[in-house]
Structure 1
Amino acid sequence: IFMDVILDCYFDDVFCQLERNYFMARYKRRQLVDYLNTVIKGYVRGEGCAEATAVACAVMAAIRYHDNSKTSNGEVCLMGKFHNILYIATKLCYDWKLKDNTIVAHLLNDIYHCEHTFERLFVGAILGTRVTNLVSGWKSDFENPEENLSAIEYFLNHATEAKLEYENNGRKTRFIDISMESYTRTQPLRIAAQFGKADVLLLLLRYGASIMFDYETGELPVERPLIQFCRVHVSNSPLNQIEGPFSCLKMLIRAVPTMATLPSDSFDGEVRVCIGRDTCGLSTLYVHPKLLQEGMIPPSRSGLIPPELKHLSRCAIRNVLGKNWQLPLGIRSLHIPTSLQDYLDLLED
């Protein structure tokens, strides 16, 4: 269509003259997003076409430019502006809430095949823009924590619908579990738990992020919040005042069947001990008894008494739904009361 011609001309005649690192600066990426938004709105008004059609044209033009430049270089991405154009496309997809799953999946595939990570989509919600700028020189394209979180959910929905999996460290790994290369090659869920980002953690858990033992890091996601609690056991303040780690711990124990914890009166906050795994794939951890005394870890989740049948049923049902790419949206199709749907969706305990 006519809009394709306009955008192809822009990329051929204007974009090609920009410096290679032009789009490393976030404000420059935003300038192009604003320009493309203007083109989309103008085309919709002038031609009377649907917004979704115009947005799809703009996104595909960016993908096409990236793919053509990669093909001309022997299937090796030139990176710089040639690759960063994909992040302008991600912002367009999110801003207009593009529903075309084929296009969004194509975009995510292109990002992974060049970077082998999706960290730029996740870090803004987990760490904010200041830390990420220092670590990787990249600022999130999304405006604030709320928009960053909403953007993650948008792309998780599309990745789940498309059933996106990638070869990562020799095994098939889902979009949600792809490690963040600049952040110790750790999964987003573990980074969120480490930094006490309960809202991000809950979102990732709801969409079925892996909570199993990680052989590369040698730990479970639940360990980070537990370690932070144990290191302040000498404090006179209640442990639940540490809001971030406490909230994360509450979220995590909703998603695991149980933990095998051994209270220790002589716990050294600087020493972390993992002494094996049980049949659920969970490490045995030493924790300070104050965690159990103050109810930070409920007895039924600590391994001291059996977990509730209701909780075990939740874990089993979520496991089946997750294997079938039905988390969390498939929960709402179950013919059960809303209160039970919320329980399955980890929104209640």
Structure 2
Amino acid sequence: MEYVFDVFFEESFLVMERSGLQSRCSRRNVIDHLNSVISGCIQGRETASVQLAVGLAVKSAIDYHRKMKSDNFKICMMGKFHNVLYIAVRVAWDWSLEDSEIIKSLLEEIYMCEKTFERIFLGALFGSNAPHFIAGWKSDFIDQDENLRALVFFLHHAGKTRLSFPSYSYAYHDIRQTKFIDIPIESCGKAAPLRVAVQASAPDILMILLRHGANPDPDDGGASPILSILEKLSDYESRAYPYQLVSCLGLLLRCTIMIELPYKPHLFHVRKEMFEIKYAALLADQIIPRDQVFGVPTLKRICRCHVRNQLRKNCQLPRGVNKLPVPRKIMKYIDLLD
């Protein structure tokens, strides 16, 4: 069966122009053809054979990319030779591939060439018809909903394999290992996916990212996402605050023990006064909970944040929540669902 897929990629790409996979339609044709080959290989066989066939198809795509790269002095030739990886991305999703190690190899292969995962994230953030300058047009999924479900699929496998990549850390001013979910998006000013979701005022996507272990205060060189939202909200002099933006703030506050006051290095009482003056309307309208700025955090909130931080560090969000020896209601609270 492995030979069948190797021949498929060799023969299909031999007669194809270098730009033959540039359009979504051309990639869709190859994907449909490959899916037909997979169906033919598994016809009349058991379910286990389905996963075997799909896994071999994805591995053959990875091997073909590696071979072409090796023949070019270990430099990716891009064009159709790189887009073969996105053929594999779509096929893995189409058949719900369960082998996390193969998915890990696929994502590692993509990162070695691109140093980002914008073609996986941007379709979920902006939809498949996003302007071409932010690369959303490259998405091989039908619409934003399918993009989002595909993103969850890859987040699940990345979490299972504790997948991380070397990326520049602004906190340490050095290259550090960064989880798949926090890898900056090149087309969005190298901002982390969570920051892009906040900037897009997309609470539903923000919720998915937080539940799957995104860092609520990403190390991408930007300001605190909470303070960024407060800055936007303070511009609404009519005090008619957008629901989406307020929802994003609420989600981030669930993952935060206290809002750290800006205006350093002033003394605390000076910073407190400056904060109260600038955000007086937000405090009066209870958009900002006073106890999360000036008060004493509740033990309940402290526990949730610390438990989530430990689970996030160990790549156990959200899977590990259900393994905690606590009542179901507390599980929902830790998982941001209550």
Q: TM-score scaled by structure 2?
A: 0.90
Q: How many residues align?
A: 324
Residue 42 of structure 1: which of 27, 36, 40 is its match? Answer: 40
| Matched residue, 2:326 | 336
Partner AA of 2:3 in structure 1? V
Asked if the contact 2:190/2:220 (under 8 Å) is kept, the reply is no
Asked if the contact 1:123/1:132 (under 8 Å) is kept, the reply is no
| Matched residue, 2:182 | 177
SS in 2 for 1:68: helix
Query: Deviations for 1:168-188, whole angstroms, at most 9, x for unmatched residues?
Result: 111111111110011101100
Any unmatched runs of 5+ in structure 1?
A: 262-273
SS in 1 for 2:291: helix
| Matched residue, 1:229 | 233
2:22 matched to 1:32? Answer: no
2:22 matched to 1:20? Answer: no
Percent of pairs identical after alignment? 38
SS in 1 for 2:286: coil
Which segment is superposed worse, 11-20 or 132-141? 132-141
Post-superposition offset of 1:110: 0.1
| Matched residue, 2:197 | 192
Any unmatched runs of 5+ in structure 2?
A: 169-174
| Match runs of 1:46-61 below 5 Å | 50-61=49-60
Residue 286 of structure 2: which of 285, 295, 300 is its match? Answer: 295
Asked if the contact 2:165/2:177 (under 8 Å) is kept, the reply is yes
Query: Deviations for 1:286-306, whole angstroms, at most 9, x for unmatched residues?
Result: 4422212222122222x1211
Query: Deviations for 1:60-84, whole angstroms, at most 9, x for unmatched residues?
Result: 1111110110111111111111111
Asked if the contact 1:165/1:173 (under 8 Å) is kept, the reply is yes
Post-superposition offset of 1:132: 4.3
Residue 220 of structure 1: which of 196, 221, 224 is its match? Answer: 224
Query: Deviations for 1:289-328, whole angstroms, at most 9, x for unmatched residues?
Result: 2212222122222x12112110111001111112222111
| Match runs of 1:310-329 below 5 Å | 310-329=300-319
2:214 and 2:327 mapped to 1: Cα distance? 25
| Matched residue, 2:246 | 246
Partner AA of 2:334 in structure 1? L
1:202 and 1:213 mapped to 2: Cα distance? 15
Post-superposition offset of 1:347: 1.4
SS in 1 for 2:9: helix
Query: Deviations for 1:203-244, whole angstroms, at most 9, x for unmatched residues?
Result: 111122112364622x01213322221111x12x532xx122
Query: Deviations for 1:246-294, whole angstroms, at most 9, x for unmatched residues?
Result: 1111110001111145xxxxxxxxxxxx42389xxxx988442221222
SS in 1 for 2:178: strand
2:86 matched to 1:81? Answer: no
2:130 and 2:122 mapped to 1: Cα distance? 9
Post-superposition offset of 1:46: 5.5
Q: TM-score scaled by structure 1?
A: 0.87
| Matched residue, 1:264 | none
CA RMSD of aligned residues (A): 2.1
* Runs of 4+ residues deviating >3 angstroms: 46-49, 283-287
Which segment is superposed worse, 33-42 or 114-123? 33-42
1:277 and 1:331 mapped to 2: Cα distance? 38
